[in-house]
């Protein structure tokens, strides 16, 4: 859907223009402050004038065509007004009214469906309903229903929020500057995904900030993320629903499907999307990307401070956040020893001592030295800039930073304050003007720097971006394959499994065991019995033909006793796999984003430590390798306590086989579990398999 006319209109009309408090009045107040009279008409049948501007009795009475209509009046008036606006040429509409799907009643849902159908009929790009409107700071279009303090907010952060209240909070932050602020509301017509796509394309937007409650159009969402990943435009997302209570809250709030939160983590990891935890992180992270003149070439930081205490905080907090402070090169240290007072001991993080901060030339010299260190990607200047300047150090430091920032070979810089407060506007503007990012206090700052480091490290080429979004809604059935059938299927996609046969009599069991070679493992093969060991349906170490026959009888007896209704394919006679390190490879299918592949070390590692990694299918080789490396128990794979290292390439092959299988059946497979997969010095062997789908697999 083309939403250019909606977001970049030449002429708009405010219907319900008023001087009272409320949507109509507050929108007029905003429009009056930020838009010229010619770009915006007021409509109110009961008033000739609003705030001294002419008010027209109806849309039809407007002197020229409009692009976008902004409807401040109640729900009951909306449909007629949309028809009238369409007749006047409008291709965009903003509807503030509530009473639609968000109220959770049948009536509300019906009203929203009617509204959507009307817009489709009129070819109208509608924002809302139940939204707060938008601000286009590029062309200064301001149909926004909430008031905030008067201030120049023009910048390059494009913001979409599924909550109007949070939009407003973000605008309230004194350091935030935008290209667009969009309160998307119920998304009856234009979807959040459309706004996202618009901002990813928009040349005036350097970074997209998104407050997300849920995704209704996964394919469109993924396509916008892919586009951003490939052009390396940062997307910063605050997504509600990490906790169970938060997920419930998000679902009830906009009626969107919250989805499994961990799947969103996997999705964002695939596309290099920065996921943050609260508004403050959202705004400072976005602002950082918009102020930085360019990304640091490496995710490695130098920290320069005026006191030992501050240097210690930067050291501790940086390490805790996983920030890399490379040791300075010998020539850097030598030069710093010349530049700093004798009692300073140069290191990274660096205590410069306060003495340099009162001399622009000396200070600039030290910054230059640190910046020229080959290991450093970005320089962090520790200094608490306050609104009211008591200590004049900044008068010397700020010009030094400005000067250095303009020199050839300058590296990105940020200023890190140690206490929270509003910052002095003059110096804030001066510093941000030359690309020095103003960070929030340390707990926030180091999280944000970690996001930056992760973004720098992200390379879209490492990831398979063709997410297997399901194309059809899945059926409601649950079909399980028997273990043997599951393994046969997985083997077709390249997974190594032990030699095995299904026997249907004692004699067949004995014969199969002889062919396979003793000792064998014998198990029930039934789609209806998942926990085979619990009911005596698995026997290991079956040593000869006579035992095989006896075990056959036993297992059939136990199966019939504990699961009288189970369908039984037979008894699986299986080669005894050499013992190896137990891994698990699993698949769960997300209804929105398709199959996710999970890997972990088996046994207590999964069960007690929950030590697993997740990736949305299809999984690339690099993704599979990094999943394995991210496990807390990964050191057990790399030759633990003198044991030989395990076959990580072989393990990756196994993961890719499972991923291929999951992608092939993306519309039907619900879950798969290969547990354990033995991992050896050379090769792997999946000794058990559970495959569940929503329809028989073709």
Instruction: Return the residues of window 549-608 that contact its own copies according to CB under 8 A.
Output: 604, 607-608
Choose which of 126, 306, 379, 537 interacts with its own copies (CB under 8 A): 306
The piece of 50-58, 194-202, 337-345, 481-489 that touches its own copies (CB under 8 A) is 337-345
Query: Which positions from 248 through 267 interact with its own copies, judged by CB under 8 A?
Result: 248-250, 252-254
Q: Nearest-CA neighbor of 129 among 196, 82, 193? A: 82
Chain-centre distance for alpha carbon 130: 25
Query: Is the Cβ–Cβ distance between 227 and 200 less than 8 Å?
Result: yes
Question: What is the footprint of its own copies within residues 62-81 (CB under 8 A)?
Answer: none
* Residue 437 binds its own copies (CB under 8 A): no
Pick the piece of the chain touching its own copies (CB under 8 A) from 96-104, 370-378, 621-629, 667-675: 96-104
The pair of three-digit structure tokens given for residue 152, joined into one six-digit string: 């120049």
CA separation, residue 532 to residues 425, 524, 547, 559, 561 (Å): 69, 7, 19, 9, 13
**Rounded to the nearest whole angstrom, what is the least distance from the CB of residue 305 to its own copies in the complex?**
9
DSSP-assigned letters across all residues of 638-674: TTGGGPPPP-HHHHHHHHHHHHHHHHHTTTTEEEEEE
Residue 408: HSE in the Cβ half-sphere, 13 Å Cα cutoff: 0
Nearer to its own copies, 54 or 337 (CB): 337
Tokens 């092959």 belong to 653
CA atoms of 376 and 406, how far apart (whole Å):
18
Q: Is the Cβ–Cβ distance between 330 and 307 less than 8 Å?
A: no
Q: What whole-number distance in Å separates Cα of residue 38 and Cα of residue 31?
A: 11
Task: Give me the 373-412 binding string for its own copies, x by CB under 8 A, dash otherwise.
Answer: -----------x-xxx-xx---------------------
Task: State yes or no: residue 442 binds its own copies (CB under 8 A).
Answer: yes
Cα atoms found within 13 Å of the Cα of residue 418, Cβ hemisphere only:
16
Query: Which segment (347-355, 427-435, 539-547, 581-589) binds its own copies by CB under 8 A?
Result: 347-355
Where does 213-359 show beta strands of DSSP type E? 235-239, 274-276, 301-305, 350-351
Using the rule CB under 8 A, is 471 a contact of its own copies? no
Name which of 357 and 574 has its Cβ closer to its own copies. 357
Which span (102-110, 538-546, 564-572, 576-584) binds its own copies, by CB under 8 A? 102-110
Distance CA 123, CA 127 (A): 13
Q: What are the tokens at 467?
A: 């997410």
Binds its own copies (CB under 8 A): choice among 343, 471, 476, 564: 343
Q: Partners of 414 in the beta sheet?
A: 380, 437
222 versus 323: smaller Cβ distance to its own copies: 323
Chosen residue from 38, 48, 63, 149 binding its own copies by CB under 8 A: 149
Phi and psi, residue 513, nearest 5°: -60, -40
**Which helix (H) or strand (E) covers residue 127, if one does?**
strand 125-127
Q: Does position 202 bind its own copies by CB under 8 A?
A: no
Shortest distance in whole angstroms from residue 522 CB to its own copies: 23
Return the number of the residue (573 or 599) whose C-beta is nearest its own copies.
599
Q: Give the Cβ contact number of residue 649 at 10 Å.
A: 13
Binding of its own copies by 271 (CB under 8 A): no
Side by side, which strands form the sheet with 413-416? 350-351, 301-305, 378-382, 413-416, 436-438
The correct pick among 259, 272, 349, 377 for binding its own copies (CB under 8 A) is 349
Q: How far is the CB of 144 from its own copies (least distance, A)?
A: 12
Phi, psi of 208 (to 5 degrees): -105, 130
Q: Answer yes or no whether residue 273 interacts with its own copies by CB under 8 A.
A: no
By CB under 8 A, the residues from 162 to 201 that bind its own copies are: 162-166, 168-170, 172-174
Choose the stretch contacting its own copies; rule: CB under 8 A; options: 112-120, 157-165, 478-486, 657-665.
Answer: 157-165
**Which residue stretch of 215-223, 238-246, 544-552, 584-592 sits at the interface with its own copies (rule: CB under 8 A)?**
238-246
Site for its own copies in 610-669 (CB under 8 A): 632-633, 635-636, 640-641
Q: Does 107 bind its own copies (CB under 8 A)?
A: no
Shortest Å, Cβ 495 to its own copies: 27
453/571 with CB nearer its own copies? 453
Token readout for 507 is: 């004699």
Report in angstroms how near the CB of residue 193 gets to its own copies at its nearest.
Answer: 18
């Amino acid at each position: 859907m083309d939403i250019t006319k909606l977001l970049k209109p030449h002429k708009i009309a405010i219907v319900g223009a008023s001087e009272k408090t409320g949507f109509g009045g507050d929108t007029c107040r905003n429009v009056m402050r930020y838009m010229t009279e010619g770009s915006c008409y007021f409509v109110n049948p009961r008033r000739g004038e609003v705030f001294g501007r002419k008010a027209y009795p109806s849309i039809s009475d407007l002197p020229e065509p409009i692009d976008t209509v902004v409807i401040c009046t109640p729900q009951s008036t909306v449909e007629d007004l949309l028809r009238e606006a369409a007749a006047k040429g409008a291709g965009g509409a903003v509807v503030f009214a509530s009473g639609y799907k968000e109220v959770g009643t049948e009536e509300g849902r019906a009203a929203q469906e009617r509204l959507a159908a009307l817009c489709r009929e009129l070819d109208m790009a509608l924002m809302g309903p139940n939204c707060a409107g938008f601000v286009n700071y590029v062309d200064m279009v301001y149909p926004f229903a909430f008031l905030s303090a008067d201030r120049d907010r023009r910048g390059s952060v494009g913001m979409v929020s599924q909550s109007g209240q949070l939009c407003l909070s973000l605008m309230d932050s004194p350091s935030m500057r935008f290209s667009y602020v969009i309160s998307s509301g119920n998304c009856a017509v234009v979807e959040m995904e459309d706004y996202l796509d618009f901002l990813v394309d928009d040349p005036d937007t350097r970074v997209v900030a998104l407050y997300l409650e849920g995704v209704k159009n996964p394919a469109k969402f993924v396509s916008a993320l892919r586009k951003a990943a490939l052009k390396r435009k940062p997307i910063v997302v605050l997504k509600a629903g990490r906790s169970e209570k938060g997920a419930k809250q998000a679902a009830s709030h906009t009626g969107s499907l919250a989805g499994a939160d961990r799947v969103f983590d996997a999705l964002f990891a695939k596309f290099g999307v920065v996921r943050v935890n609260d508004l403050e992180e959202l705004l400072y992270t976005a602002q950082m990307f918009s102020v930085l003149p360019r990304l640091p070439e490496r995710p490695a930081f130098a920290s320069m401070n005026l006191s030992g205490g501050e240097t210690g905080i930067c050291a501790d907090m940086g390490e805790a956040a996983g920030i890399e402070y490379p040791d300075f090169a010998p020539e850097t240290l030598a030069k710093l020893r010349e530049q700093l007072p004798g009692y300073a001991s140069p290191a990274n993080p660096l205590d410069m001592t306060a003495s340099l901060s009162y001399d622009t030339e000396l200070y600039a010299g030290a910054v230059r030295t640190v910046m020229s260190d080959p290991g450093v990607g970005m320089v962090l200047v520790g200094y608490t800039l306050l609104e009211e300047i008591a200590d004049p150090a900044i008068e010397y430091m700020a010009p030094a930073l400005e000067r250095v920032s303009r020199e050839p070979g300058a590296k990105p810089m940020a200023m890190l304050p140690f206490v929270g407060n509003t910052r002095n506007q003059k110096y804030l503007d001066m510093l941000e003007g030359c690309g020095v990012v103003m960070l929030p206090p340390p707990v926030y700052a180091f999280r944000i720097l970690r996001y930056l480091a992760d973004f720098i490290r992200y390379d879209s080429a490492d990831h398979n971006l063709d997410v297997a979004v399901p194309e059809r809604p899945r059926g409601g059935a649950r079909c399980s394959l028997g273990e043997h059938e599951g393994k046969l299927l997985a083997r077709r996609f390249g997974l190594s499994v032990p030699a095995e046969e299904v026997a249907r009599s004692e004699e067949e069991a004995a014969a199969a065991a002889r062919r396979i070679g003793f000792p064998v493992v014998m198990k029930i093969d039934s789609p209806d019995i998942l926990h085979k060991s619990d009911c005596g349906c698995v026997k290991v170490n079956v040593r000869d033909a006579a035992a095989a026959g006896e075990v056959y009888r036993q297992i059939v007896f136990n199966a019939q006793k504990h699961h009288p209704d189970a369908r039984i394919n037979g008894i699986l006679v299986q080669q005894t796999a050499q013992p190896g390190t137990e891994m698990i490879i699993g698949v769960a299918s997300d209804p929105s984003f398709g199959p996710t592949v999970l890997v972990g070390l088996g046994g207590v590692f999964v069960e007690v430590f929950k030590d697993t990694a997740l990736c949305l299918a299809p999984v690339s080789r690099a993704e599979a390798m990094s999943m394995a490396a991210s496990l807390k128990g990964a050191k057990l794979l790399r030759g633990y306590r003198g044991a030989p290292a395990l076959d990580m390439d072989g393990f990756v092959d196994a993961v890719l086989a499972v991923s291929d299988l999951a992608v092939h059946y993306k519309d039907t497979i619900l879950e798969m579990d290969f547990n354990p997969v033995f991992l050896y010095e050379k090769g792997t062997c999946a000794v058990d398999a559970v495959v569940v789908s929503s329809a028989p697999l073709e």
